[in-house]
Structure 1
Amino acid sequence: MSSVSDFENVVVSICPNLFSEYGDLPRIAESRKIYQSTPYPADRAILIHNESSHLYCFPLNIWFCCLQPASQGGATPIVDCRKAYRLINKKLQARLIEKKIMYVRNFIQGLDVSWQTFFQTTDKSMVEDYCRRADIDFEWGKQNNLTTRQVRPAIAIHPITNEPVVFNQIQLYHMAYLESEIKESLLSIFGEDRFPRNVYYGDGTPIEDSVLEEINQAYRESQTSFPWEKGDILMLDNMLAAHGRSPYVGKRQIRVAMGEMRYSKDILPSAV
């Protein structure tokens, strides 16, 4: 696989209706349906997550294509979300199912992705309409900033296999996973209430450090790693497999496509 168009042709043959409205990833100029990988510093890992699990609508399938592997590092860690669920103790399983989790995001001008980019509009009324449809609480602040709060599952039921899985972005959102120097700097500037991203239980109470560590341990014990070679295509079921990115050296080009869109309300477990 040597080009974006080749990759898109392969994926479209599997999934004709690719998702083309995701605001967190930059699109490739040649296609509205193919994205660049997350723009994140090469020397830092992207932590484990299920793509778009913090949104009301998410892809069941996600494809990655390697146009150029890194000269060193850059593998994709993959977590078996069924195994990770089984490794979490039953009391915590029940708590996560009952409480769910709340993602809080402060869109601050000049920091991270702007709300205009994420929602793909400069019209505040369109943002508000989207938030109401997606069951997102929103609040406009000073200097054209925006705060959103959305309760989503931490544990989910796969719509095809009916298996319980860990399904969230706790590692990407929780401030505990930031380097201490960066975390302290952001806290000193914004405070916890206006921290760019954070995650709580669904009722707004803090997630305990012991819970974070148990989830981390389950991920570690359920993880493998995919080393990239040029032309590779990797397809993941986004609920059965969470993914991340290892640090790397050199130029790395990974392209992303998403499809088979589902809604978070349809995957909520009713009981352990």
Structure 2
Amino acid sequence: MKTDPTWQPALLEPASTGTDASADGLLEYLRGTDLDGLLVREKAVIFRGFGIDVDTSYEGVADVLLPNRLAYVHGNSPRTKVGRNLYTSTEYPAEYEISMHNEMSYARAWPSRILFHCDVQPGTGGATPVVDGQLWLESLDAEVRDAFAAGIRYTQNLHDGIGFGKSWQATFETDDRDEVDVFLATADAEWEWRGDGSLWVSQLRQSTLKHPAGNTEVWFNQADQWHPAGLGEDAAALADVVPEDELPQNATFSDGSPIPAEYIRHVRETGMRLAVDVAWQTGDLLLVDNVAAAHGRRSYTGERRILVAMSD
């Protein structure tokens, strides 16, 4: 059965939950709700009007929504850690959009839930678009789906403190090479420490995934975020001057052959076109099933501070 093209995240407010417009009211609702069932049914849920504040009320609510909060280890986007496994959302310049993706779908293991919190709403723009992963998959050209069927190979060149992209220390949240070795050994990755202190990592991963609860198949990869064609003019210019095997990150087909740029653009544009924008209000929470739905970011002006945490 094809998915509903009119899907959008559920919006829950004090009036619809029958509780007070406070963190205690939200906690009362959450403790009487089957959260797993809610997410399977809705795929993403906005909690609005409960006055959640990161300094006073966030932790208690987050502990219920995220039963096992995870560190952002082996994450590839720039973030700042601001609390207990709580991070700023991707710190790319405000004028750029961030394409649709499932968090850490390039990794051996990924979070099942993502929780966004709006600490400061943007001046203009800055919505978080969310897309149904089944709809995204069904809407891609058959030629593109078939080309990706065997999977995707992701490669990283992580510097030792100075260079393009992220360092291996920032990526793995440690200065201990032995810890990195243990992590990568359990992640079905190939890796090599280079003479200059940098780290090369290669991972073969899936392009689609079946949801463990609904058994629906979804588009589930980040090829367009790793491939130079999906990263804008600056990345494309870098790819022109840096050998392919030295790029900070790259994505190829499973056999190492290059992914055509037009495939990457088609995947990216399809996801952004189908996405539903969540326009932020300060205090909002957005809980996302990280397999059922992908997310991104629209460009914005103003301060915009969105925090993110994850759970398995």
TM value normalised by structure 1: 0.87
1:149 to 202, 221, 230: 202
Q: Which whole-Å CA distance do the structure 2 matches of 1:187 and 1:209 have between them?
A: 14
| Residue 109 of structure 2 is aligned to residue 57 of structure 1 | yes
Note closer, same or farther for the CA distance 1:26–1:65 as it changes in structure 2 (3 Å cut).
same
Aligned partner of residue 64 in structure 2, secondary structure: helix
2:219 to 159, 163, 166: 166
| Residue 268 of structure 2 is aligned to residue 216 of structure 1 | yes
Q: Which whole-Å CA distance do the structure 2 matches of 1:181 and 1:127 have between them?
A: 29
Matched to 1:166, the amino acid is W
More displaced, 149-158 or 3-12? 3-12
Aligned partner of residue 142 in structure 1, secondary structure: coil
Counting aligned pairs with the same residue, the percent is 31
1:104 corresponds to = 155
| Residue 123 of structure 2 is aligned to residue 83 of structure 1 | no
Deviation per residue, 1:212-270 (Å, 9 max, x gap): 243234314421111101111111111111111111111111111111x2xxxxxxxxx
How do residues 209-248 of structure 1 correspond to structure 2 at under 5 angstroms? 209-248=261-300
Higher CA-based Rg: 2
Structure 2 unaligned segments of length 5 or more: list them: 1-51
2:45 corresponds to = none
Q: Which whole-Å CA distance do the structure 1 matches of 2:295 and 2:263 have between them?
A: 20
1:204 to 256, 264, 288: 256
Q: Which whole-Å CA distance do the structure 2 matches of 1:187 and 1:55 have between them?
A: 27
2:243 to 191, 203, 207: 191
Aligned partner of residue 57 in structure 1, secondary structure: coil
More relative contact order, 1 or 2 (CA 8 Å, 6+ apart)? 1
Deviation per residue, 1:89-130 (Å, 9 max, x gap): 445434423x10011111123232210121122222221221
Aligned partner of residue 254 in structure 1, secondary structure: strand
Q: Which whole-Å CA distance do the structure 2 matches of 1:209 and 1:183 have between them?
A: 11
Q: Which whole-Å CA distance do the structure 1 matches of 2:98 and 2:61 have between them?
A: 26
Matched to 1:7, the amino acid is Y
* Alignment check: 8 A CA contact 2:117 2:308 kept: yes
* Alignment check: 8 A CA contact 1:173 1:199 kept: yes
Q: Which whole-Å CA distance do the structure 1 matches of 2:118 and 2:222 have between them?
A: 24
Matched to 1:67, the amino acid is D
Matched to 2:225, the amino acid is L
2:81 corresponds to = 27
1:9 corresponds to = 60
| Residue 194 of structure 2 is aligned to residue 136 of structure 1 | no
Aligned partner of residue 144 in structure 1, secondary structure: coil
* Alignment check: 8 A CA contact 2:71 2:85 kept: yes
Shift of 1:74: 0.8
**Aligned-CA RMSD value:** 1.8
1:180 corresponds to = 233
* Alignment check: 8 A CA contact 1:48 1:244 kept: yes
Aligned partner of residue 263 in structure 2, secondary structure: helix
Equivalent pairs counted in the alignment come to 256
Q: Which whole-Å CA distance do the structure 2 matches of 1:4 and 1:162 have between them?
A: 39
Structure 1 unaligned segments of length 5 or more: list them: 262-272
Aligned partner of residue 113 in structure 1, secondary structure: coil
Point out 4+ residue stretches in structure 1 off by more than 6 angstroms. Answer: none
* Alignment check: 8 A CA contact 1:4 1:34 kept: no
Matched to 1:10, the amino acid is V
How do residues 119-134 of structure 1 correspond to structure 2 at under 5 angstroms? 119-134=172-187
Shift of 1:16: 2.3
Q: Which whole-Å CA distance do the structure 2 matches of 1:79 and 1:72 have between them?
A: 21
